[in-house]
Structure 1
Amino acid sequence: MNRWLVVLGAIIVQVNIGAVYAWSLFNQPLAETFGWAREDVVITFSITIAVSAFTTIFAGKLQDKIGPRWVATAGGFLLAAGLLLTSQATTLIEIYLSYGVLAGAGIGMVYVCPLSACVKWFPDKRGLISGIAVGGFGLGGLIFQPVIRFFITNYGVSDTFLYLAIIYFILVIIGAQLLRNPPSEKANDALASNNQVKRNEAKQFSTKEMLRTYPFYLFWFMFLFGSMAGLMVISFAVDIGVDVFQLDVAKAANAVMVIALFNASGRIVLGNLSDHIGRINTLRLIYILTAATLIYMSVGILNYPMFLITTSLMGFCFGGYLAVYPSVTADYYGTKNMGINYGFMYQAYGISSFAGTFILSFFPFSQAFIVAGVLCIVALVMSTFIVTPEKHRRVNFSVKQVDEV
């Protein structure tokens, strides 16, 4: 099988599940239609991200055993079912359960499959391929924005979920059929052509073995701090433009499109860069850029051009985190259990969707930027303690061996 067909399938499914980033388009229409508080509707997005991240653990383990095609297909069914039920929902609890939990679980099942498959097919280009795969996820919100706006305007918010369920179901199922794990001999040939990758693949860690190594926890918290900083700006970009940069809502809203473009490009560019200068060096560069941008947003000159520049940089760096960490997981812990291992790593991203909001509940934007910037500097320092993990072996002595000693 041509391995680029796997990449095509990955892009198709990721663009569709990535439409979750366009959830903000539903907030006001749902609030107006059913008389709900907008703040209560917004919670749906956080539930969806958290559930999807948690689901990657189980989906990753399952796809390691039975392959990505069947797991992604099942995820497509769950996503469509969740949206169908959402189209019939009349209470917030029903929205939380149908979209947040059920559709969120479908997104999590689909998300981990193309990442794991692509990394296995391209051991020589892990950063680039991870970037392309998750780049589709980043573009999903941008591509589906006009589609969602059209449906809401012409058919109402509830029916929009019905039509999206049909679209997602068809395209995700089609894309899922292209997802395959490589035959072992194909993977070995690719590994043999790259000595560095061959050395990295010498040890395949089970999840238990990975969790016994301290580099995993360094990576996990580094991932948490970086993605939290990115989501803090991305999720509240319009509010930041109005409250911090003193812009009107129309100008501040322009950042949404700009962030989506730079988010997607950052995944590809920084993922590819990590193949050439190394994962750790790329992460250090991203953390430096993130910290500097956040500190500037707190103490620098604030105007419309700088608003677009700083939010673009934050989107660019955020995309880099999501592109590099799958490759980090494969490099340090092997590809055999890549699905479930990255599922555990990905929990940092799931928690980050709440962490930024938690910080903002205690601090205004300018102070929250400083806090997030300092945490990125902490992540930068943590990167200096990363070493190649070693498996912890248990030594068992028999009674006869003890007697001989």
Structure 2
Amino acid sequence: MTPSSHPPPRTRLFRGWFVVAGAFAVTLVGFSSAYTFSAFLESLQRDFGASRGSVSLVFSLAGFLYFGLGVVSGPLADRWGARRLAVAGMVLVGLGLAAAGQARSLNQVCLAYGLGVGLGVGASYVPVLGAVQRWFVKRRGFASGMAVSGIGVGTLVMPPLASLLIEALGWRHAYLALGVLAVVVGAGMALLIEDDPRHRGLGPDGDPPQPQAPSAVPAGSTLRDAIRSRRFAGLYAACLISSFGLFVPFVHLVPYALDHGLPPGSAVLLLGAIGIGSTAGRFFLGGLADRLGRQLALPLMSAGMALSLVVWAVSSGFWGLAAFAFAYGAFYGGFVALLPALVMDCFGGRSIGAILGVLYTSVAFGTLVGPSAAGFAFDLSRSYMLPILASIGANLVAAGVLVAMSKARTGARPGPQGTVGNEPTHAQRP
């Protein structure tokens, strides 16, 4: 008798949720290391005598790398497994933060932080998201939302922690402390990542695999077929356009609040409000979209981000900015949670890591340009109004592209096993 011929009885807690927990920790450590940057911006600007646009380039480089490298880490995860890449990525994040604390120039900070955090998150993010998709079908949106809710929790917890560490230890030792935390928590929890429920004698959602049931790694489109489809082109265009403004609040909301007279403690709390909203959006909007249909829910997330940015444009006090931060975080969190699940719906699991990796290069280019351009725009005009308005327009255009994509009939070509990757699964239908 072998485990594959007689699968074990279903346990109380499905192993897939341990995979989700590992992905949660990886996204928490990786992205919170990036999103605490706003708490360090004023210290870096003061100590190195740099402009706001120049300091913002540090974040933009890291963002470009951690989204752009998915095109490499995704296929590597399909071949080597997500766990190895996730552990290596978390170690790189820790080393990058520690090295940034030793930097003696802004260029050295850019290299240490940009390369360390950028390469580390880039090596781990797409692989762990791809792994989670394979463990679930019926609750894929909810599971994906839980996995990436680590980003929201990290945005809630880590910026205030970073602010306290900066106040108590100085920004250099604060980076060292965060680096140690990244290695201990991130690399340790990454060991929970597993690629394939079949290795445990299970099917997706913990159901016993049956001869007539689909494989735990479902057939679907190859990378080549996927990127030649109209549906992928629509997703890529929408993500590229949206991402020009997607991360502007993460870098510039705290400086904006300080410019309007808010005390540093209150300003940093605004990032926490984004984190609270983001966590709520990932949990509740991801699960809701499983019932309503993810193809229609995703453009609603972009439209919601645009509407919330209007609140930022007309607010200067704490409560108005906090309302913006929570609403923006919720729709941003929903967007991030739904995107990989929708990709799985459209193209199947055969090359999910590679497809996600190519798709996230769109976000990489937008992240490289958006936050730094907003900083330079402020340096020239002493106002954030133009970047905010540009972000509103970008999200509205992205929502329109996603709506048009959802109505497209032509998608990925059939794979060799006869499946059409962009046909909706039962989990996608309302």
TM-score (norm 1): 0.84
Aligned to 2:252: 236
Deviations 1:292-311 (A, max 9, x none): 4445666x798765443333
- Decide whether aligned partners of structure 1 residues 257 and 355 sit closer, same or farther in structure 2, where only a CA change above 3 A counts: same
**Contact 2:248–2:370 (CA<8 Å) still a contact in 1?**
yes
> Is the CA contact 1:122–1:129 (under 8 Å) kept in the aligned structure 2?
yes
Structure 1 or 2: larger helix share? Answer: 1
Counterpart check, 1:17 vs 2:17: no
Identity %: 25
Aligned to 1:140, the other structure's residue is in SS state: helix
CA distance change for structure 1 residues 272 and 355 in 2, over 3 Å: closer, same or farther? farther
Matched, 1:274 2:274: no
Equivalent AA in structure 2 for residue 13 of structure 1? V
| Counterpart residue type for residue 400 of structure 2 | V
Q: Secondary structure at the match of 1:341?
A: helix
How many residue pairs are counted as aligned between the two chains? 388
Residue 234 of structure 2 is aligned to residue 218 of structure 1: yes
- What pairs up with 1:3-152 in 2 under 5 angstroms? 3-19=16-32, 20-152=34-166
Code of the residue aligned with 1:285 in structure 2: it is: L
Q: Report the CA distance between 1:212 and its aligned residue.
A: 1.2
2:365 corresponds to 1:343 = no
* Amino acid of the structure 2 residue aligned with 1:344: V
How much does 1:368 deviate? 2.6
Other structure's SS at 1:248 match: coil
Q: Kindly provide the CA deviation profile for residues 309-351 of structure 1, in whole angstroms up to 9, marking residues without a partner as x.
A: 3332222111111111100111111112111211111122222
Amino acid at match of 2:239: F
Which of these residues, 370, 376, 379, is aligned with residue 401 of structure 2?
379
Distance 2:309 2:170 in 1: 38
Q: Which residue number in structure 2 is paired with residue 401 of structure 1? A: none
Is the contact made by 1:68 and 1:113 (CA closer than 8 Å) also made in structure 2? yes
Letter in 1 for 2:224: K
Instruction: Give how far 1:198 is off.
Output: 5.8
Shift of 1:215: 0.7
Contact 1:288 1:380 in 2 (8 A): no
Aligned equivalent of 1:265: 280
Indicate if the aligned counterparts of 2:157 and 2:272 stay in contact, CA closer than 8 A.
no
Q: Distance in 2 between matches of 1:10 and 1:316?
A: 20
Equivalent of 2:182, from 141, 158, 168? Answer: 168
**Aligned counterparts, 1:193-212, within 5 A:** 203-212=219-228
For 1:323 and 1:190, the matched residues in 2 are separated by 21
Q: Which moved more, 1:167-176 or 1:383-392?
A: 383-392
Distance 1:50 1:182 in 2: 29
CA contact (8 A) 1:226 1:318 kept: no
In 1, Cα distance between the equivalents of 2:17 and 2:415? 39
Secondary structure of the residue that 1:349 maps to in structure 2?
Answer: helix
TM-score, L = length of structure 2: 0.80
Deviation at 1:145, TM superposition (A): 2.5
Q: Which residue of 2 aligns with 1:400?
A: none
Task: Check whether the contact 2:221–2:415 (CA below 8 A) recurs between aligned residues.
Answer: no
- What secondary structure, in the 3-state scheme, does the structure 1 residue paired with 2:247 have? helix
CA contact (8 A) 2:38 2:254 kept: no
Are the aligned partners of 1:16 and 1:140 in contact in 2 as well (CA < 8 Å)? yes
Aligned match of 1:368 in 390, 399, 403?
390
- For residues 337-377 of structure 1, the C-alpha deviation after alignment (integer angstroms, 9 at most, x for no partner) is 11121111112222222443477549725643553354245
Alignment correspondent of 1:313: 327
Partner of 1:288: 303
Which piece of structure 1 moves more, 361-370 or 173-182? Answer: 361-370
Given that 2:221 and 2:412 are in contact with CA atoms closer than 8 Å, whether structure 1 keeps it comes out as no
Q: Is the 8 A contact 1:128 1:275 kept in 2?
A: yes
Structure 1: which amino acid aligns with 2:153?
A: L
Is the CA contact 1:294–1:373 (under 8 Å) kept in the aligned structure 2? no
Q: Provide the secondary structure at the position in 1 that maps to 2:69.
A: helix
Unpaired runs of at least 5, structure 2:
1-13, 417-430
- Contact 2:152–2:275 under 8 Å retained in 1: yes
- CA distance change for structure 1 residues 199 and 386 in 2, over 3 Å: closer, same or farther? farther
Distance 1:3 1:370, change over 3 A: closer
- C-alpha separation in 1, matches of 2:319 and 2:98: 42
Contact kept, 8 Å, 2:58 with 2:114, in 1: the verdict is: yes
Return closer, same or farther for 1:345/1:382 CA change in 2, 3 Å cut-off.
same
Deviation at residue 72 of structure 1 after TM alignment = 0.9
Preserved contact between residue 67 and residue 361 of structure 2 (Cα < 8 Å): yes
* Mapped partners of 1:368, 1:277: distance in 2: 30
- The answer to which of 207-216 and 385-394 deviates more is 385-394
Distance 1:350 1:146 in 2: 26
Q: Which 5+ residue runs of structure 1 have no aligned equivalent? A: 395-405
C-alpha change, 1:70 and 1:359, in structure 2 (3 Å) is closer
The AA in structure 2 aligned to 1:152 is: I
**1:292–1:159 Cα change, 3 Å:** closer
1:255 and 2:270 matched: yes
Q: Give me the CA root mean square deviation.
A: 3.2
- In the superposition, relative to structure 1, how do residues 322 and 374 fare at CA in structure 2: closer, same or farther (>3 Å)? closer
